[in-house]
Homo-oligomer: A and B are copies of this chain.
Amino acid sequence: VETLIEIKYAVNTILLLLTGSTIMFMAAGFAMLEAGLVRAKSTVEILTKNISLYALACLMYLLMGYAIMYPAEIANSLWPGMDFLLPGEHTPQAILDAKGRIQYSTVAHFFFQMVFSATSMSIVSGAVAERMKLWAFLLFAVIQTGIIYPLEGFWSWGGGFLHQLGYYDFSGSGVVHLTGAMAALSGVLFLGPRLDKYRDGEIFPIPGANLPLSALGTLILWFGWFGFNGGTVFMASNGWIEKANAMAMVIVNTNLAGAAGAIAALAIARFLFGTADLTMALSGIITALVAITASPLTPSPAMAVFIGAIAGVLVVFVIVILERMQIDDPVGAIAVHGVGGLWGLLAVCLSNPAASLKAQLIGIVTLSLWGLLASGIVWYLLRRYMGIRISENDEEEGIDIGECGLEAYPDFTPRS
């Protein structure tokens, strides 16, 4: 029996590491998605931003994020919870189940949560693309991943008040995506639209420079989402069969929601614009994946299709509405993660008897306000004391030259 507990501990731990690895790979997904949707002259900067924010998020999560988010899981020390990650003699720690048996390695749990924290930050980078000062953004990333995200993570998952109220959010429709969208919205409001986007009351579309990259990025995200939702299963305490069945249902529902989101968005776009708009299909996929993330285990597959399809329809309208409201988001991140998060958290009530609409609404309001206001204060301070917008000259020439000193595609003639 001792050995069987050890085997389960090992399998849980290993699967948190394997699925966490595919979540890390989502950094490539976000980087490609966004690099394809900005102009050629803003590509190096968005790549630099995506890579740096992933790195910063990991370092900040080590430095303080994990200790803030999961204080109960970890031993107390001067630097709470960090002792197992610092030099010196200490026994490896394990997360225990309700009966006090070891369940999985705390270090693996740290890894899984670390890559989650990076995902939450990735959402912001695209919305402020092409016009924000790189170093201001990176400073924001430090505070977002070091404090803002871990705190609401603690509320929702680490034992805090939302958790106690019964707020249900399986893999982070709200914790990761909705708050990411709100931080992005807040940033865009302080930043303003790109120079060429609105003139004389007219809206000028600014098409992405490299759509194959965006399609690739979306498919990488889809693939990574199996780890994002599927890995969470291995933190639950239950039997072998129950756990395997749960992972199967989670992955089937994640996949079907994404598929339904793609087709729904494509069909609506065809109906509204007359063409099969690839970027809308990509947005539909991600919105649907965000939406199913709140509760991928409880819906039937038919319900998962429904949740994904509604997400795919909604996001097309919200993208159009935000654009008309002069909220300029080059990659549609606010719409995608905001709509997906909101709809997903509400849709939990359709399939999950353990969820209450009241708790979900409290969660939505809390996380939205927190996302807007906490990051808003940071954006405000950054704008006031450092400046967050590059010069008009730099923006016209392209942010790549000014911030990174490199061109993304130097061998090709730009279209004039």
Contact = CB atoms under 8 A, between A and B. Distances in A.
A13 B244 contact: yes
A415 B410 contact: yes
A88 B27 contact: no
A369 interface: no
Interface stretch (A153-161, A248-256, A371-379): A248-256
Interface stretch (A38-46, A163-171, A177-185, A354-362): A38-46
Interface in A50-87: 50-52, 54-56, 58-59, 62, 85-87
A52 B48 CA distance: 31
Interface string A208-229: 1111110110111011001100
Interface in A1-18: 3-4, 6-7, 9-11, 13-18
A123 interface: no
A216 B28 contact: yes
Residue among A13, A45, A252, A407 facing the most chain B CB atoms (10 A cut-off): A252
B260 A303 contact: no
A233 to B, nearest CB: 9
Contacts of A85: 252, 300-302
A345 interface: no
B107 A31 contact: no
A291 interface: no
B302 A87 contact: yes
A347 to B, nearest CB: 13
B415 A55 contact: no
A391 interface: no
Interface string A236-274: 000111011101110110011011101100100000011
Contacts of A88: 300
